[in-house]
């Protein structure tokens, strides 16, 4: 009989309980964290044992992969702890898999089902089949990575539903005047146990699982909500603000490839009433390289709607120059790796100078990221870089702190502070 207990992270199966039976529809596969399971064909004359599975292995994946009923039953030989992998989680990953690999996987599954069918026709097969040994410990790293990904994916989904994500804002400054020009909106995850989690820890999992669309939808909605508040704050300090503030928000290659992305942008503008020219869509070169044609189409739609398009980490990809001729770029952002070594490495300085000259010829403004020292800002200003961003001018901060930054921004104080740093 079934006697399962399921929590957010674990399915607990007491010894002797069935996890599922042959013929049932497959709604999940299971990573085995602890305990031992038996895969078998139930027969009145005696069960046919197909395999034993233990920690570091998976059961129930076949019915998810080929969307057919369970081919065998599984029960717990001892108290077992499992982590479920849902059909939705696997479907997204299979869709992203190379088609030849998918075809090979289909052949393997079909051969397995043919073997199971032959076993079902066997007569007098009451004695168990040889049971394969458990996998060696060499797979522990792979299993741990898969387990961590699944748990994190589930926590992200829960975090979106529970409102754990928030946007922080980092100042972008007009270098020549030190006036405040805008902000980059950066996502943070206020996890109930882990604290404030940076994007590098959760964005890759969100992209691989298909959850990135939910996060981007949240980010765009927040940007539309807060931009009027930032603009209002600028009205209280016009002398130190470089014209209307702009706001940059990051999107992923998955977002650009989604058919719903243009409508998402259109809804943002119509529902919030913000001026499209005050918003920039920011995307990295590495993500553009995955599907440049689709990216160009999506970004062209953003430009038609009046939004700016910023290429982040410019200079780190392999096709930087080609993007400038095929994409509707309005801003380039020089990667912080070049800025960090600008004062001590002649190669970095030449690369930055080359980018600035090229951008000047194309009339595209440049933002230098990762500025931490006044000497870096001064040199970039002399080289003709329009904008700067980095800890020298401010850390990413919640909305309330960003509004306070706008109201209290003072060009003279900032210049003196930079010289003293």
Q: Is residue 121 located within the same domain as residue 256?
A: no
Question: What's the pLDDT tens digit per position in 242-254?
Answer: 989 999 999 988 8
pLDDT at 320 over 70: no
Q: Domain count for the chain, please give it.
A: 2
225 three-class SS: helix
Predicted TM-score (pTM) of the model is 0.74
**364 Cβ contact list (under 8 Å, min separation 6):** 324, 329, 330, 331, 332
How high is the pLDDT of residue 377? Answer: 95
Q: Which carries the bigger pLDDT value, residue 353 or residue 125?
A: 353
Q: Is residue 222 located within the same domain as residue 271?
A: yes
CATH number for the domain spanning 247: value is 3.20.20.450
How high is the pLDDT of residue 317? Answer: 60
Q: Is residue 124 located within the same domain as residue 214?
A: no
Confidence of residue 100 (pLDDT cuts 50, 70, 90): low
Q: Is residue 380 located within the same domain as residue 235?
A: yes
d(CA 280, CA 297): 16
> Which run of H or of E encompasses 30?
strand 28-34
CB 246 within 8 A of CB 182: yes
In a domain, 337, yes or no: yes
In a domain, 304, yes or no: yes
Q: Is residue 176 located within the same domain as residue 125?
A: no
Whose tokens are 């801003």? That residue is: 331
In a domain, 66, yes or no: yes
In a domain, 154, yes or no: no
Q: Is residue 241 located within the same domain as residue 93?
A: no
Q: Is residue 336 located within the same domain as residue 194?
A: yes
Residue 5, strand partner residues: 12
CATH number for the domain spanning 73: value is 2.60.120.10
Q: What is the mean pLDDT of residues 51-65?
A: 86
In a domain, 153, yes or no: no
In a domain, 151, yes or no: no
Q: Which carries the bigger pLDDT value, residue 246 or residue 204?
A: 246
In a domain, 393, yes or no: yes
SS3 annotation, 309-364: EEEEEECCCCCHHHHHHHCCCCEEEECHHHHHCCCCCHHHHHHHHHHHHHHHHHCC
CB 119 within 8 A of CB 37: no
- Its domain, for residue 12, covers 5-135
Average pLDDT for the chain: 84
In a domain, 303, yes or no: yes
Q: Is residue 242 located within the same domain as residue 340?
A: yes
Q: Is residue 52 located within the same domain as residue 114?
A: yes
Q: Is residue 171 located within the same domain as residue 302?
A: yes
Q: What is the mean pLDDT of residues 350-359?
A: 92
Q: Is residue 54 located within the same domain as residue 190?
A: no
Q: Is residue 307 located within the same domain as residue 365?
A: yes
Q: Kind of pairing, strands 73-76 and 80-86?
A: unpaired
How high is the pLDDT of residue 269? Answer: 87
d(CA 401, CA 235): 16
């Amino acid at each position: 009989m079934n006697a399962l207990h399921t929590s957010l992270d674990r399915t607990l199966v007491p010894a002797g309980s069935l996890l599922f039976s042959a013929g049932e529809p497959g709604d999940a596969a299971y990573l085995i964290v602890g305990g031992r399971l038996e895969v078998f064909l139930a027969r009145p004359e005696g069960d046919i044992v197909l395999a034993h599975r233990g920690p570091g292995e998976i059961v129930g994946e076949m019915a998810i992969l080929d969307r057919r009923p369970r081919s065998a039953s599984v029960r717990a030989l001892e108290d077992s702890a499992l982590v479920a992998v849902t059909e939705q989680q696997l479907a997204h990953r299979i869709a992203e898999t190379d088609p030849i690999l998918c075809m090979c996987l289909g052949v393997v599954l079909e051969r397995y089902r043919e073997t199971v069918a032959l076993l079902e026709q066997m007569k007098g097969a009451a004695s168990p089949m040889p049971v394969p040994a458990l996998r060696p410990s060499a797979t522990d790293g792979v299993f741990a990575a898969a387990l961590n990904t699944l748990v994190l994916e589930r926590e992200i989904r829960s975090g979106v539903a529970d409102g754990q994500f928030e946007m922080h804002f980092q100042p972008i400054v007009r270098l020549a005047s030190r006036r405040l020009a805008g902000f980059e909106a950066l996502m943070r995850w206020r996890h109930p146990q882990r604290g404030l989690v940076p994007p590098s820890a959760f964005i890759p999992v969100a992209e691989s699982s298909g959850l990135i669309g939910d996060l981007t939808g949240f980010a765009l909605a927040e940007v539309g909500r807060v931009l009027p508040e930032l603009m209002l704050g600028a009205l209280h300090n016009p002398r130190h603000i470089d014209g209307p503030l702009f706001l940059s928000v990051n999107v992923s290659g998955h977002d650009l490839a989604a058919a719903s992305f243009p409508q998402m942008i259109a809804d943002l503008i119509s529902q919030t009433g913000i001026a499209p020219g005050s918003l920039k869509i920011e995307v990295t070169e590495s993500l553009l390289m995955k599907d440049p044609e689709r990216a160009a189409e999506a970004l062209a739609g953003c430009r038609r709607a009046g939004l700016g398009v910023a290429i982040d980490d410019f200079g780190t990809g392999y096709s930087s120059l080609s993007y400038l001729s095929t994409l509707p770029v309005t801003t380039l952002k020089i990667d912080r790796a070049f800025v960090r070594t600008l004062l001590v490495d002649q190669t970095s300085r030449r690369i930055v100078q080359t980018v600035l000259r090229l951008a000047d010829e194309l009339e595209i403004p440049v933002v230098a990221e990762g500025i931490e020292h006044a000497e870096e800002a001064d040199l970039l200003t002399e080289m003709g870089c329009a904008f700067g961003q980095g800890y020298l001018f401010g850390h990413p901060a919640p909305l309330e702190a960003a509004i306070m930054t706008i109201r209290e921004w003072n060009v003279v104080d900032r210049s003196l502070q930079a010289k003293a740093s």
